[in-house]
Amino acid sequence: MWQLYCPLMAHPPEDLAAQNEQLRAELDEASRQIERLQTIRSDVLSRLSHEIKTPLTAILGFSEVLLEAELYEMADIKDFALEIHEKARLMHLISEDLISLARMEAGMMTYDLRMTEVGPLLEGVASEFREECRLRGLEVILQLQPSCPLPIDQEKLHQVLCNLLRNAMDATPKGGQISILTEEDLEECRIIIRDTGCGIEADEINQIFEKFTQIEDILHHQEGLGLGLALSERIIEDGHGGRIIAHSDGKGKGAEFVVHLSRDASAPES
């Protein structure tokens, strides 16, 4: 006599119940991940519109003032022009971060590593922000040791340094100091950006490198998409074989970010 075969009867009821429970748990987890991604997308879009609208409003306002330049002293006109320049640079940094994020997510980020001295690059970055720091009442201290060329992507390291310096400026109140230093040994060069700002609590220090972590949530900054430090870490680790270490003695005691760059010319190129 032929017997019908039913796949469901091949497994005891308790096994089926366990499988159903596992599937249910996996679906619940997938649903939570989708909700989290949707929240992140909504949050980033909201921040992006705010971060673009704010400097654009300032640019429009100060440029309208300049159209009536005859009503103002030359010193005031220069300050207005510097405000416009500051806001335009902020928008440029935001666009750079978004482009870098898109390239990383698509697996299309490339690095052009060339033997380059970091000293002139650091001097250039400090010069870019010096006037803005002066307007904010911040002192910039540059202490660079003579250095040998390193294998770096100059454009992307410039992006990293701008993000770190912008963070230091946003964290430091009027009258504070921002120091840019270098140290080196036989194995690596260390770029140190130190501020006398609001500081970071010990239990929050690692969160600042998480993608989409809002800077102001942890450092109490007023600007930022929460991408700069995460992208900077990826650029240094993936593109240069290095690392970024953050340190702070706590709230109100400033912070220090150290970029470790290897002297090894065989650092990854992509």
Number of structural domains found in the chain = 1
Res. 12 pLDDT band, cuts 50 70 90: low
> What is this structure's pTM?
0.70
52-56, 102-106, 177-181, 260-264: lowest mean pLDDT where?
Answer: 52-56
In a domain? residue 64: no
- Which CATH number is 208's domain given? 3.30.565.10
The answer to whether residue 163 is domain-embedded is yes
Domain that includes residue 132, residue range: 114-262
| Residue 82 within a domain | no
Q: Which residues contact 51 (CB under 8 A, 6 or more apart)?
A: 90, 94, 223, 224, 225
Residues 6+ apart with CB under 8 A from 120: none
Q: pLDDT at position 241, please? A: 93
> Is residue 97 a part of any domain in this protein?
no
The per-residue pLDDT for range 50-91, each reduced to its tens digit, is: 567 677 777 777 777 777 766 667 777 777 777 787 777 777
In a domain, 230, yes or no: yes
* Structural domain contains residue 45: no
For the segment 35-44, the average pLDDT, to the nearest whole number, is 64
Q: Is the pLDDT of residue 255 over 60?
A: yes
34 is a domain residue: no
Q: Is residue 250 part of a domain?
A: yes
Mean pLDDT, range 15-25, rounded to an integer: 79
